[in-house]
Chain A
Amino acid sequence: MALRDDWRRVRAIVRKDLTTELRAKSGFNSVASLGVTILILLGLALGPDAQALRDAAVGAVWLALLFSGVLAFNRSFQMELESGALDALLLYPGPRWTIFAGKLLGNLVFLSLMALIVVTAGIVFFNVPIPAGWPSLVGVLALGVLGLSVLGTFYASMASRSRAREVLLPLLLFPMLVPVLLAAVTASKAILGADLMHESGPWIRLLAAYDLIFLIATFIAFEHVIES
């Protein structure tokens, strides 16, 4: 079963990445701390008016996720560049997309855990009341984090191997994420405001379509990006 073999390759990469993160927790801890720090700074810059903070909460949380996510994506490929680990990874038999899938899943786990911390901090610091429709809020968050991870992983596979990875990744990634930012923020705001106009529906569908389109596009394009 070729597909089962591919899946085992994907799992091996995810396990390798997560084990590395688990053994040296400093990576996750510092990136998550940065996310919370950005959130606190935004609170200071926009506060202290309680209502203004509550209105800005969703946007602040997403900006914190975007900025700290960039560091996470670059890190995940930077690890591969030390002592030529990526070259060894490429030498293993099997299709290249499994490397992308493994890296993507690893980043998705990393970012989801980070989002959990940042969102919790956002709810506390920005005094956001939890609405009755909170499961759809989690859905929006999951779709947004998926879109962020797909393009983040893809662009980091290039940017991390260039001369200026710190500046190049956000420069490439952020304009691409404009639809994710708009959709996630607007849908979340609508749900927080009880969504009387059913505004969130089209935005959630847009997010899902975005994720699907770029999942397919990046899986195809990755073959060209990684070949050496």
Chain B
Amino acid sequence: MPSSDRARELAPTRSPRTSAWFAAGSFVAVAAAQAYSVATSPAEGDMGHLQKIMYVHVPAAWMTFLAFFVVLVFSLKYLWRKDENDDLIAASAAEVGALFNGLTLVLGMIWGRPTWGVWWAWDARLTSTLVLFMIFVGYLALRGFVEDPQQRARWSAAVGIIGAINVPIVYMSVMWWRTLHQQPSSAATLDPAYTMGLRLNAIAFLLVLIYFIRWRYEIARLERAGERAAEVAAMGGHLA
């Protein structure tokens, strides 16, 4: 490999300073959106101020689905073009998606305990979010157990796509399963007093999501470059 190629491979796609500004900006946006929504939203009739968990719980849930969509798109793109970077983006999105998914579940439980009286209910949305988390975990476990980078990329792309196809089917089946037994606790349509706060928080969370995926992607690229350098070193300095 010519040295210029290797230098390009190791170079981050954005300068560290831009990344730092983006990181700071996205966290400031979260803080500002939280402050705005907590300050402006009135206490809700039944839940009182507990309703404010919505401003972290709901955006986290949206980001989970968005992250899975990124996994789907870049998995398809990888199988189509076989560009390793697409695989690394899909993997980064899966990891960040799993984080937001876990956050959604935990925040939902914290909200559910005082409002419903239970930590967990086998409600359609809760259950399908949990199954989605399990699909993410399987995807990440697969990546951990396959060494050959190309095989790992092809297999995880296939698992990502098949998993994404299953998400609406899981949701539908869990919804039927619940409705045939008892009506799922329906969320009241959102009062206009809360929509602005929710929208702002969604945008702020989106910035954090982008920042996390980018950051994880840079690390993944460095990891791959390190793996390749180790391969070259094992070959005695020559690429096979």
Interface residue ranges, A against B (CB under 8 Å): 151, 154-155, 158-159, 162-164, 167-168, 171-172, 174-176, 178-179, 182-183, 186, 199, 202-203, 206, 209-210, 213-214, 217-218, 221, 224-225, 227-228
Determine which of B147, B162, B169 lies in contact with A163 in the assembled complex, contact meaning CB atoms within 8 Å. Answer: B147
Given contacts A178-B173, A221-B161, 14 further A-B contacts (CB under 8 A): A151-B162, A158-B159, A167-B141, A168-B138, A172-B139, A174-B134, A175-B138, A179-B166, A179-B173, A182-B174, A186-B176, A186-B180, A202-B176, A224-B157
Q: Is B56 an interface residue (CB 8 A)?
A: no
Give the secondary structure class of B's interface: helix
Within the assembled complex, what's the spacing in Å between the Cα atoms of A214 and B164? 12
Whole-angstrom distance between the Cβ of A31 and the nearest chain B Cβ: 22
The answer to whether B163 and A176 touch across the interface, beta carbons within 8 angstroms, is: yes
The answer to whether A162 and B146 touch across the interface, beta carbons within 8 angstroms, is: yes
Interface residue ranges, B against A (CB under 8 Å): 79, 131, 134-135, 137-139, 141-142, 145-147, 151, 154-155, 157-159, 161-163, 165-166, 169-170, 172-174, 176-177, 180
Q: Which residues of A contact B155 (CB under 8 A)?
A: 158, 225
The answer to whether B170 and A179 touch across the interface, beta carbons within 8 angstroms, is: yes
Determine which of B141, B163, B173 lies in contact with A183 in the assembled complex, contact meaning CB atoms within 8 Å. Answer: B173
Whole-angstrom distance between the Cβ of B122 and the nearest chain A Cβ: 11
Give the secondary structure class of A's interface: helix
Within the assembled complex, what's the spacing in Å between the Cα atoms of A168 and B152? 14
Instruction: For A158, give the chain B residue with the smallest CB separation.
Output: B155
Q: Which residues of B contact A183 (CB under 8 A)?
A: 173
Q: A163-B145, A171-B138, A206-B176 are in contact. Are A179 and B161 (CB under 8 A)?
A: no
Q: Which residues of A contact B170 (CB under 8 A)?
A: 178-179
The answer to whether B169 and A213 touch across the interface, beta carbons within 8 angstroms, is: yes
Q: Which residues of A contact B176 (CB under 8 A)?
A: 182, 186, 202-203, 206
Determine which of B135, B145, B173, B180 lies in contact with A164 in the assembled complex, contact meaning CB atoms within 8 Å. Answer: B145
Q: Which residues of A contact B147 (CB under 8 A)?
A: 163
Q: Which residues of B contact A154 (CB under 8 A)?
A: 162
Instruction: For A199, give the chain B residue with the smallest CB separation.
Output: B180
Q: A162-B146, A206-B173 are in contact. Are A176 and B157 (CB under 8 A)?
A: no
Shortest 5 CB-CB distances between A and B: which pairs?
A: A175-B134, A179-B173, A172-B138, A162-B145, A221-B158
Q: Which residues of B contact A179 (CB under 8 A)?
A: 166, 169-170, 172-173
